[in-house]
């Protein structure tokens, strides 16, 4: 039977139009897509419905609330379709793919987030390939994950990151293997795909404003600035540390400021500034000192996944210890367990 795919068009370059002010989101992507599918192609195409969001955005304007709007859209059509494609701007695509993975744990159907660097309206573009391949992947045998597809690479959504602003191979998955490579053939990397056991869970939440921040450690970062960032209403901080979890412990007041914040219930998670790395707070004295302040190690989480997960956990309004415990428990393969770096991740749901 022909598979049915639900496409949610949220905005982004893929559907943009050129104006004197630069590219702007534009409606009417359904017409463009229909024109693109010639009768010869139609035979291979899954049945699809394209839903255009009422407010199309440049994804620079995305708020965590939007993850849950998209998740809600997917949840409310979940039982009528075999797979989902989310068309999105590239700038915050990895945040949304991460956010969706935590909002929709236990998925048994593919959700594939994609977009392009050049609009579908331009004569030469990467939009056509990304869109049609995402559609085919969503209709292929069920990949039970939120994925990000771009330029021949199918990635776990919460492992992907945008590395290039002006190239077609904009995304990569630096700390986890690709779920599929798409060239002449589509090669699915089965062992890398999540092993699902539990039932679908839809956690559509209301994230509050200004509760989570991301701060990159840099030479000269003062305790004063750190304390400012940690002021209420902040409840969570992703600290992008050096290397495998190093921070300037000799900077006066630095560690004390972190310790005071964690004592007051702020969850602080250290991840690495390096694209390919994993935090290990046991190896250096600067790391063990950081761990003693109550800061948690974030393994090989990307910034996007760490931010989305902490936002999600804090929006659940669970006790601080549970936020910390869940931050260090993989929900859907967002980080690798140290002893089995590329072991097949099992979904917690």
The residue ranges that bind ligand ASP (CB under 6 A) are 11-13, 58-60, 89-91, 115, 117
Contacts of 183 (CB under 8 A, 6+ apart): 152
**Residue 263 near residue 324 (C-beta atoms within 8 A):** no
Strand order in the sheet with 212-216: 212-216, 236-241, 267-272, 296-297
Nearer to ligand ASP, 130 or 315 (CB): 130
Catalytic residue among 13, 133, 293, 303: 13
Compute the CA torsion angle 55, 56, 58, 62 (nearest 10 deg): 50
Task: Please state the closest distance from residue 25 (CB atom) to ligand ASP, in A.
Answer: 7
Task: Please state the closest distance from residue 60 (CB atom) to ligand ASP, in A.
Answer: 5
Task: Please state the closest distance from residue 11 (CB atom) to ligand ASP, in A.
Answer: 6
Nearer to ligand ASP, 12 or 298 (CB): 12
Residues 111-122 as b/e (b if ≥16 CB within 10 A, e otherwise) read bbbbbbbbbbbe
Total Cβ atoms within 10 A of residue 133: 20
59: Cα separation from own chain's centroid: 13
Distance CA(139)–CA(319), nearest Å, equals 40
Nearer to ligand ASP, 150 or 299 (CB): 150
Task: Please state the closest distance from residue 127 (CB atom) to ligand ASP, in A.
Answer: 10
- Please say if 13 is a catalytic residue: yes
Nearer to ligand ASP, 155 or 261 (CB): 155
Task: Please state the closest distance from residue 130 (CB atom) to ligand ASP, in A.
Answer: 11
Six-digit token pair at 49?
């419905």
Nearer to ligand ASP, 83 or 89 (CB): 89
Residues in a beta bridge with 182: 186
Active site (catalytic) residues: 13
């Amino acid at each position: 039977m022909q598979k049915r795919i639900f496409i949610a068009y949220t905005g982004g370059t893929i559907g943009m139009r050129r104006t004197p002010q630069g590219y702007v989101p534009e409606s009417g992507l359904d017409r463009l897509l229909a024109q693109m599918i010639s009768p010869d192609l139609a035979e291979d195409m899954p049945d699809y419905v394209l839903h255009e969001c009422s407010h199309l955005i440049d994804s620079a304007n995305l708020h965590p609330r939007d993850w849950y709007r998209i998740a809600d859209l997917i949840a409310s059509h979940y039982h009528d379709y075999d797979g989902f494609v989310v068309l999105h701007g590239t700038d915050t695509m990895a945040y949304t793919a991460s956010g969706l993975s935590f909002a929709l744990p236990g998925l048994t159907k593919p959700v594939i987030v994609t977009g392009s660097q050049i609009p579908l309206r331009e004569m030469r573009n990467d939009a056509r390939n990304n869109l049609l391949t995402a559609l085919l992947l969503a209709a292929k045998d069920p990949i039970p994950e939120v994925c990000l597809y771009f330029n021949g690479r199918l990635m776990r959504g919460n492992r992907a990151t945008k590395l290039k602003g002006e190239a077609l191979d904009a995304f990569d998955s630096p700390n986890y293997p690709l779920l599929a490579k798409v060239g002449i053939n589509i090669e699915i990397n089965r062992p890398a795909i999540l092993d699902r056991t539990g039932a679908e869970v839809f956690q559509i939440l209301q994230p509050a404003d200004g509760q989570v921040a991301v701060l990159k450690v840099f030479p000269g970062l003062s305790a004063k600035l750190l304390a400012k960032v940690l002021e209420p209403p902040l409840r969570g901080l992703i600290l992008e540390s050096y290397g495998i979890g190093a921070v300037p412990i000799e900077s006066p007041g630095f560690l004390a400021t972190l310790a005071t914040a964690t004592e007051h219930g702020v969850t602080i998670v250290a991840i690495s500034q390096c694209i390919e790395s994993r935090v290990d707070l046991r190896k250096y004295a600067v790391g063990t000192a950081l761990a003693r302040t109550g800061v948690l190690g974030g393994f090989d989480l990307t910034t996007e996944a760490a931010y989305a997960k902490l936002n999600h956990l804090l929006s659940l309004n669970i006790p601080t210890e549970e936020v910390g415990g869940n931050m260090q428990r993989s929900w859907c393969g967002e980080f690798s367990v140290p002893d089995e770096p590329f072991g097949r991740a099992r979904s917690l749901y």
